[in-house]
């Protein structure tokens, strides 16, 4: 029956899972949204292409959502005699310790636990997914694929902060960057779309979702990225502040704010939510359409920050093969794409509004013929990258 790879992507409001075969075809999908007010929403399809849809009214946290999803996978595998080969996990922060796909051991998990404070919305949940999968699928090897790995070749002049080295006993302060798995897929997909080798591409990759980042890729290699030591730096996000004068949290601390309060402010209560009270861009756009001044300001600030980074990274690259929109907002919000690209024609970007407004079912070029650089919308497929890396790692050991 071949080999199968289950990929688990545990996030702060969702659990996304995909089952791939050895040819990287998706054989089944199971997603859980536990961040909705109505409870837990499960959707997807099994290996027989049978639709799975459940609404569980009781509230769930990440642990209970993972339990529902992983146990459902166990039932699918048992009922259909599926030979599971490996389980892969997206791990957000790997610091400088992990720069490639890594077999998961207890030692690896212990080391990753030291990074929880630096990616608090992600790493604890990523590790939870690993431990729960190990309990349910005890004999199946597990692998970690790191968001930070794609950015490990960023040069020191872009990666270092202007502070002394060795300040922390626990970790090195450096621009690790995130959304690297998404960037890797965007690079491969753009190369296939434009029919050229990845190493011949200079890209600006805009991953816009609850988290948002822009990455400059020169000759297929990440050379700078907006997220830094943590996923909180850079662009304005759903609840994260992005770039911020470091004296602001210090000033608040002097006014009596506790560490936990500052953490919540910077990672949960800032960004779009801090500006207009809504973290979901769909709701922000809806309120802006109704004339809400704070929502309109949030959109202006969100797009303005992105434009600033596009200009900076264009100056770094010198020539851009394509600008890529990916992620939930990048793929599904044409009004945001329009606002970001407005006025960038002097940099060689020209958007085709008719193509931009069409509902995008697959990767497409929304740039007009007047532009020098292409503007691509690419569907994010982080789970496929994870499966591809595991398949490559196992090589001849995979039963084909």
CB 52 within 8 A of CB 60: no
75-80, long-range: CB within 8 Å, 24+ apart, which pairs? 76/28, 76/46, 76/47, 80/46, 80/47, 80/48
Q: DSSP H helical segments within 318-357, as ranges?
A: 327-332, 334-341, 353-357
Backbone angles phi, psi at 218, to 5 degrees: -110, 125
Q: What is the DSSP letter of 111?
A: H
CA distance 60 to 96: 34
CB 190 within 8 A of CB 199: no
**Of 147, 195, 243, 292, which is the active-site residue?**
147
Using alpha carbons, list the distances in angstroms from residue 161 to 49, 155, 200, 208, 250: 50, 12, 29, 25, 18
Which residues neighbour 13 within 8 Å (Cβ) at sequence distance 6 or greater? 33, 34, 35, 210
Angle between helices 293-317 and 281-289 (to 10 degrees): 120
Q: Are strands 212-218 and 221-225 parallel, antiparallel or unpaired?
A: antiparallel
User: Angle at the Cα of 230 (from 229 to 236), degrees rounded to 5?
Assistant: 120
CA distance 242 to 231: 8
Cα distance from N-terminal residue to C-terminal residue, the chain: 9
CA distance 22 to 361: 25
37 as an active site residue: the answer is no
Q: Which class for 13: exposed (0-12), middle (13-18), buried (19 or more C-beta within 10 A)?
A: middle
State the DSSP string of 122-148: THHHHHHHHHHHHHHSTTS-EEEEETT
CB 325 within 8 A of CB 208: yes
Which residues participate in catalysis according to the annotation? Answer: 147
């Amino acid at each position: 029956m071949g080999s199968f790879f289950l990929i688990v992507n545990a996030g702060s409001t969702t659990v996304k899972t995909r089952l791939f075969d050895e040819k990287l075809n998706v054989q089944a999908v199971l997603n859980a949204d536990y961040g909705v007010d109505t409870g837990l929403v499960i959707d997807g399809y099994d290996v027989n292409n049978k639709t799975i849809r459940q609404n569980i009214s009781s509230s769930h946290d990440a642990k209970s959502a993972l339990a529902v999803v992983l146990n459902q996978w166990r039932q699918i595998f048992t009922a259909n005699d599926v030979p599971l080969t490996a389980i892969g996990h997206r791990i957000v922060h790997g610091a400088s310790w992990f720069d490639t796909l890594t077999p998961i051991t207890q030692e690896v998990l212990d080391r990753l636990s030291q990074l929880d404070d630096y990616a608090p919305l992600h790493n604890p949940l990523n590790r939870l997914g690993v431990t729960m999968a190990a309990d349910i699928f005890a004999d199946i090897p597990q692998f970690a694929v790191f968001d930070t790995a794609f950015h490990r070749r960023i040069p020191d002049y872009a990666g270092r902060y202007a502070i002394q080295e060795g300040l922390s006993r626990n970790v090195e302060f450096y621009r690790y960057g995130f959304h690297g798995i998404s960037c890797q897929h965007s690079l491969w997909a753009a190369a296939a779309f434009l029919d050229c080798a990845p190493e011949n591409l200079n890209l600006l990759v805009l991953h816009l979702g609850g988290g948002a980042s822009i990455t400059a890729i020169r000759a297929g290699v990440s050379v700078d990225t907006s997220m830094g030591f943590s996923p909180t730096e850079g662009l304005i996000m759903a609840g994260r502040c992005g770039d911020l004068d470091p004296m602001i949290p210090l000033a608040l601390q002097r006014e009596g704010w506790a560490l936990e309060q500052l953490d919540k402010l910077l990672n949960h209560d800032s960004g779009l939510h801090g500006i207009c009270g809504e973290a979901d861009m769909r709701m922000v756009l809806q309120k802006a359409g109704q004339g809400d001044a704070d929502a309109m300001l949030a959109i202006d600030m969100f797009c303005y920050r992105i434009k600033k980074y596009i200009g900076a990274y264009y100056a770094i690259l010198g020539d851009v093969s394509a600008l890529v929109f990916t992620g939930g907002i990048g793929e599904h919000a044409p009004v945001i794409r329009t606002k970001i690209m407005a006025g960038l024609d002097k940099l060689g970007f020209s958007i085709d509004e008719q193509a931009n407004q069409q509902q995008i079912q697959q990767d497409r070029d929304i740039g007009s013929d007047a532009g020098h650089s292409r503007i691509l919308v690419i569907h994010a497929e982080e789970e496929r990258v994870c499966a591809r890396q595991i398949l490559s790692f196992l090589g001849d050991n995979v039963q084909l």
